[in-house]
A and B are shown apart, each in its own frame.
Chain A
Amino acid sequence: MVSIGLILNRNAVVNYLLVVGYLALLITTTVYEYINQGITQLVYFTSDSLGLLMLIAMTIVSIPAFYYGYRFIATRNDAPHARGLFFAAMVMLITSCCMAYLSNHIAVTWIFVEITTLSASVLIYHNRSMRALEGVWKYVFLCAISITFIYIGILFLSLSLKSAGVGEMSFKVLYENHHNLNVFWLKLAFLFIFTGFTAKMGLVPMYTAGIDAKDKAPAPAGALLASVLMNVGFVGIYRVYAIVAHTPLKGWANSVIIIVGLLSVFVAAVYMTRIKNIKRLFAYSGIEHMGLVVLGLAAGGVGVYAAILHIILHTFIKPTLFFQFNQIYTIYQSKSVYDLGNYFRYYKTGAFVVLLGFLSATAMPPSGLFVSEFMIFQSLFQSHYVVLLVVVLLLLTLIIWGFGVNIFKLLFTPTGQINEDKLPYISPWESLPQFVLLALSVYLAYNPPAEFVVLIQESVKLVQ
Chain B
Amino acid sequence: MTDILLIALAMTLLYMSIADRLQTYLYILVLQGLILFGTTYLTLTDVSTLNLLLVLLETIVFKAIAVPWFMNYLIKRNKITRVTEPYLPNFVSLIIVTLIIVSTIILSGSIEDKNLDKTFFVVALSTLFTGLYLVVSRKKIISHVVGYLVIENGVFVLSLAIGNEMPMLLNLGIMLDIFASVLILGVFFNKIGDVIRDPDVNLLTNLKD
Query: Chain A residues in contact with chain B, CB under 8 A?
Result: 107, 110-111, 114, 117-118, 121, 125, 130-131, 133-138, 140-141, 144-145, 147-148, 151-152, 154-155, 158-159, 162-163, 167, 169, 182, 184-185, 212, 215-216, 271, 274-275, 277, 280
Residues of chain A within 8 A (CB-CB) of B148 are 141, 144-145
Instruction: List CB contacts (< 8 Å) of B157-204 with chain A.
Output: 158-159, 162, 165-166, 168-169, 172-173, 175-176, 179-180, 183-184, 188, 191-192, 195-196, 204
Contact in complex: B144, A138 (CB < 8 Å): no
Subset of 15 A-B contacts with CB under 8 Å: A114-B176, A121-B183, A133-B191, A134-B204, A140-B183, A147-B180, A151-B155, A152-B128, A154-B172, A155-B158, A162-B165, A169-B166, A215-B207, A277-B209, A280-B209
CB distance from B118 to the nearest CB of A (A): 13
CB distance from B82 to the nearest CB of A (A): 22
Contact in complex: A148, B152 (CB < 8 Å): yes
Question: Per DSSP, are chain B's interface residues mostly helix, strand or loop, or mixed?
Answer: helix
Beyond A184-B111, A215-B207, 12 additional contacts (C-beta under 8 Å) are A111-B175, A114-B179, A134-B204, A148-B180, A151-B159, A151-B172, A151-B173, A152-B128, A154-B172, A162-B162, A184-B113, A216-B207
Contact in complex: A118, B183 (CB < 8 Å): yes
Residues of chain B within 8 A (CB-CB) of A155 are 155, 158-159, 162, 169
Residues of chain B within 8 A (CB-CB) of A134 are 204-207
Binary per-residue interface labels of chain B (107-145) against chain A in the complex, 1 for a CB within 8 Å, 0 otherwise: 000010101100000000000100000000000010010
CA distance A275 to B207 in the complex (A): 12
Indicate if B151 sits at the interface (CB-CB under 8 A): yes
Contact in complex: A130, B195 (CB < 8 Å): yes
| CB nearest to A163 among chain B residues | B115
CA distance A210 to B113 in the complex (A): 38
| CB nearest to A274 among chain B residues | B209
Query: Chain B residues in contact with chain A, CB under 8 A?
Result: 111, 113, 115-116, 128, 141, 144, 148, 151-152, 155, 158-159, 162, 165-166, 168-169, 172-173, 175-176, 179-180, 183-184, 188, 191-192, 195-196, 204-207, 209
| CB nearest to B166 among chain A residues | A158
CA distance A169 to B195 in the complex (A): 44
| CB nearest to A110 among chain B residues | B172
Q: 4 closest pairs, A vs B, by CB?
A: A134-B204, A144-B180, A275-B209, A162-B115
Contact in complex: B169, A154 (CB < 8 Å): yes
Contact in complex: B113, A135 (CB < 8 Å): no
Known A-B contacts A111-B175, A117-B183, A137-B141; A152 and B158 likewise in contact (beta carbons under 8 Å): yes
CB distance from B115 to the nearest CB of A (A): 5
Contact in complex: B207, A138 (CB < 8 Å): yes
Partner of B204, one of A138, A147, A185: A138
CA distance A169 to B168 in the complex (A): 10
Partner of A271, one of B115, B173, B180, B209: B209
Residues of chain B within 8 A (CB-CB) of A163 are 113, 115
Residues of chain A within 8 A (CB-CB) of B113 are 159, 163, 182, 184-185
| CB nearest to A136 among chain B residues | B188
Which of A110, A151, A185, A274 is packed against the most chain B CB atoms within 10 Å? A151
| CB nearest to B145 among chain A residues | A141
Residues of chain B within 8 A (CB-CB) of A144 are 148, 180, 183-184
Contact in complex: B115, A159 (CB < 8 Å): yes
CA distance A182 to B116 in the complex (A): 12
CA distance A159 to B162 in the complex (A): 8
Which of B115, B141, B205 is packed against the most chain A CB atoms within 10 Å? B115
Residues of chain B within 8 A (CB-CB) of A280 are 209
CA distance A324 to B188 in the complex (A): 31
CA distance A140 to B169 in the complex (A): 23
Residues of chain B within 8 A (CB-CB) of A133 are 191-192, 195, 204
CB distance from A274 to the nearest CB of B (A): 7
Contact in complex: B155, A152 (CB < 8 Å): yes
CA distance A143 to B184 in the complex (A): 10
Contact in complex: A107, B168 (CB < 8 Å): yes
CA distance A266 to B183 in the complex (A): 33
Residues of chain A within 8 A (CB-CB) of B209 are 271, 274-275, 277, 280
Contact in complex: A151, B166 (CB < 8 Å): no
Contact in complex: B169, A167 (CB < 8 Å): no
CA distance A5 to B195 in the complex (A): 29
CA distance A118 to B207 in the complex (A): 21
| CB nearest to A188 among chain B residues | B111
CA distance A220 to B129 in the complex (A): 38
Residues of chain A within 8 A (CB-CB) of B116 are 159
Residues of chain B within 8 A (CB-CB) of A145 are 148, 151
CA distance A185 to B191 in the complex (A): 41
CA distance A117 to B187 in the complex (A): 13
CA distance A34 to B14 in the complex (A): 56
Residues of chain B within 8 A (CB-CB) of A185 are 113
Partner of B176, one of A135, A147, A216: A147
Residues of chain A within 8 A (CB-CB) of B165 are 158, 162, 167
